[in-house]
Amino acid sequence: MSSHLRVAAAGPSSTVQDRGRVGYQRYGVSVAGAVDPLLHAAANALVGNPAGEGAVEFTMAGDSLTVEGGPVRVAVAGDAALTIDDEPAPAWTSLRLRDGQTLRIGALREGTRGYWAVEGGLALAPVLGSVATHARTGLGGLAGGALKTGDRLPLRLDDAADRGELTLDPSLLPARGADIRVVLGPQDDAFTPAGIAAFLEESFTVSHEADRMGYRLNGPVIEHARGFNITSDGIPLGAVQVPGTGQPIVLLADRQTTGGYPKIACVIGPDVGALAQKRPGERLRFRAVATAEAQALHARHRDVLAGLPGLLRPAGAFALYGSERLLGFNLIGGVVTGWD
Amino acid sequence: MSETPASPPGLSPRLLPAGDGALIVELGEGIAPALNAAVHRLDRRIADAALPGVVETVPTYRSVLVVFDPARTHPDRLGQALLGLTEGLSQPSPEPQRRWVIPVCFGGIHGEDLDDVARRAGLTTAEVTALHCAADYRVYMLGFSPGFAYLGGLPEALHQPRRENPRMMTPAGSVIQGGAQAAISPIAMPSGWHLLGRTPVRIFDLRRDQPFLLAPGDRVRFASVPVVEFDRMAACDGLLPDSETVAGDVAGVAA
C-alpha cells in the first residue's frame, strides 16, 4: 500500500506550491507558486528534494499530519513549534515519522508563511506543468484548493530510508530587514515627483488586506500625474500598483496576469519573499536600485538558493546550540550572515 | 475603456523596466485594432527569434511583457534585441489568421440581459443578435482568468456601461459585453458585464491538448443557434467550434 499523510487538522490556509505555473500567463493563467521561494527551497533541501518540488506552504500556523504507511521523512522551514505525538521536535530539521505518528506544526512566531516538505514529494498530477495551487481559479494542488482536515496526501515514496537526519541553521540565511528593494517602472512616469518621493522616502505599513495575491500597504498618498487608469497590461511579479486611493498594492504569486492601474515600481525577485513574510502592522521602506545592482542582487540570491544543500549539517551537531537556541531561531532578526 | 477604430497612431516603441526579471515593450497608447495587431506580430517575432533567457511573454492591448531568467541573459542585451524586433512592425502582416465561429444561444434563460441591452440601445433583440453575429471580433488579449479573452470590435450601437450591480455568478460559456468590449467567460465567475447568451463550447478545458480555445491575436465570430441546438451541442463532449482562415490584417499602422 502506498504511504499517505492524513491531514488530522488543517492550518488556516495551507496550499501545495512549487515554483509556479510558467508559460501560461499569455492565456490568463496566474503563476502561483511559493510566495517565499527561499524557505520553500530550504524545506525541500532538508529532505533531499530538488528546490522546485511541490511542498506545502502554510499561513500563520501549520497542519497536523498523521502518517499512514511510511516511515516518512518530513521537514519544516519556518519558525514554528512542532510536536511529534505531543513530544517537542525541531523545525529546520528532517524528521522520520513512523506509521501512526502525528506531527503537529504550531503557529509561526515570526513571519507569515512556513513550508513543510516530504522526502520524494507528494504524488500529485501537475496541472499545466505545475502542482502549484491557485485557489481563486481552482487550479493545481489538491483539488485546486487549500488542505482540509481529513484530506489524504499521497506520497511518491513509500518508505524513507533510515539515514542520519539533517539540519539547517536559519541564522545562516540572508537577513531580512525593513528595506524592500525595487526597480522603478514600468509606469513611474504616471506619478508626480512628489509621488515618487513619498514612495521612496517615507515608510509604509502592511495592512490587513495581505494575502498570496497581493499586499495592500498604508502610508503617504502616492500622487498620480494624470489619473490612475492605464490601458491594461501585463503584471510582473512584485509589481507595485497604485490605484486611485494613492495607497500601493504589491502583487505577489497569485496575482492576475493583467491589470489597469499604473505600476510605480517592481520589487526585485530576491526581496519578494521578504515582503511576503511581513505581518499586518509591520513597517517597511522601499529603496530604488539601478538595473545593474538588481542583477547583482539576483545573482547573489541564486547563489544562496543553489548553496542551500551545502549549509545542511548532521542533526546531531544541533546539540551544540542547545535546545533554547534551537527553539528561539529568528529568521528576520538581522543576524549577520555570510551573504549580507 | 474606449476603443479607437479610426486611424491609429504610429508606433512609438519604448522599453520599460519591470523588475529584475521582466521587460515591457510598449508600442503605443490606447486600444486600437492596428496597434494590437502590431503587438501580436511582435509577440510572434519574439517567439520565432528564440532569444536566450526568455521564459514567457504576455501580449496585451499595446505592449508585450517579456519575462526572462536573469541567469541566462542581461536585460540590456535582451532589451536591445527586443527593440530590434520592433523594426518594420507597422507593416500589415500578410499571414492568414485563425477565426473561430462560436455558436451562441442568445437571450432567454441563457442571456438574461439581452432584453435590457436591446431596450437601452433602442433596438429589437433580433437586431442586437444580428449586430453581434455580424461583428468580426479580435482577441486583443487574455487576462483576468484562465482563457478569458478580451474581444474588441463590439458595434458602437451596443456600447453600454457595465451593470450597476455585478452578478455574483455567471456560468462558464457566458457571452457577455461591457463598455466597448465583449467576452466569453471560460469558467463560472462573478461579472458586472451584461449577459447576452451562452455558448455550449468549452472555452477552457483541461482535458484538451490545447486547453485554451482562444489565443491572443485570434479572430472570433458568433453564430446564433436556437436553444434546442444549444442543448444538443452541450451534450457533445469535447465539442470544438468551426474555424476558418481569414486574410491577415489589411491595415497597417500609420508611420
| CATH number, residue A211 | 2.40.100.10
Between CA A317 and CA B78 the distance in angstroms is 46
Phi, psi of B221 (to 5 degrees): -125, 150
Taking a C-beta distance cutoff of 8 angstroms, is the pair B251, B92 a contact? yes
Pick from A187, A236, A297: CB nearest B22? A236
Residues A144 and A31 in one domain: yes
Pick from A26, A259, A298: CB nearest B57? A26
For residue B94, the one-letter residue type is P
Residues B107 and B228 in one domain: yes
Cell of A12: 488556516
SS3 A57: strand
Q: Report whether pLDDT(A272) > 90.
A: yes
Residue B162 lies in a domain: yes
Pick from A24, A139, A266: CB nearest B19? A266
Residue B65 lies in a domain: yes
A139, A172, A205 — which closes off a domain? A172
Residue A304 lies in a domain: no
Cell of A330: 529568528
Residues A59 and A136 in one domain: yes
Q: How many domains does chain A have?
A: 2
Residues A134 and A242 in one domain: no
Q: Report whether pLDDT(B141) > 90.
A: yes
Residue A285: its pLDDT value, please? 98
Residues A188 and A269 in one domain: yes
Mean pLDDT of A289-302: 96
Q: What is the CATH number of the domain that holds B173?
A: 2.40.100.10
Residues B29 and B102 in one domain: no
Interchain CB contact of B172 with A (< 8 Å): no
Q: Report whether pLDDT(B167) > 90.
A: no
Looking at A218-227, B21-30, B92-101, which range is the least confident one? B92-101
Residues B163 and B111 in one domain: yes
Residue B250: its pLDDT value, please? 54
Taking a C-beta distance cutoff of 8 angstroms, is the pair B194, B177 a contact? yes
Looking at A22-26, A132-136, B3-7, B176-180, which range is the least confident one? B3-7
pTM of the model: 0.91
Between CA B55 and CA A300 the distance in angstroms is 20
Residue A22: its pLDDT value, please? 97
Mean pLDDT of A10-14: 98
Between CA A40 and CA A19 the distance in angstroms is 9
Residues A113 and A197 in one domain: no
B86, B113, B148 — which closes off a domain? B86
Residue A54 lies in a domain: yes
**Neighboring chain B residues of A231 at a CB cutoff of 8 Å:** 1, 29-31, 60-62
Q: Which domain holds residue B45?
A: 14-86
Which residues numbered 183-242 in B keep a CB inside 8 Å of some CB on A? Answer: 186-187, 206, 211-212, 215-216
Residues A162 and A184 in one domain: no
Residue A166: its pLDDT value, please? 97
Taking a C-beta distance cutoff of 8 angstroms, is the pair B29, A231 a contact? yes
Residues A53 and A146 in one domain: yes
Residue A337 lies in a domain: no
Residue B5 lies in a domain: no
Residues A16 and A129 in one domain: yes
Residues B135 and B236 in one domain: yes
Q: How many domains does chain B have?
A: 2
Residues A165 and A206 in one domain: no
Q: Which domain holds residue A213?
A: 179-295
Cell of A319: 546539540
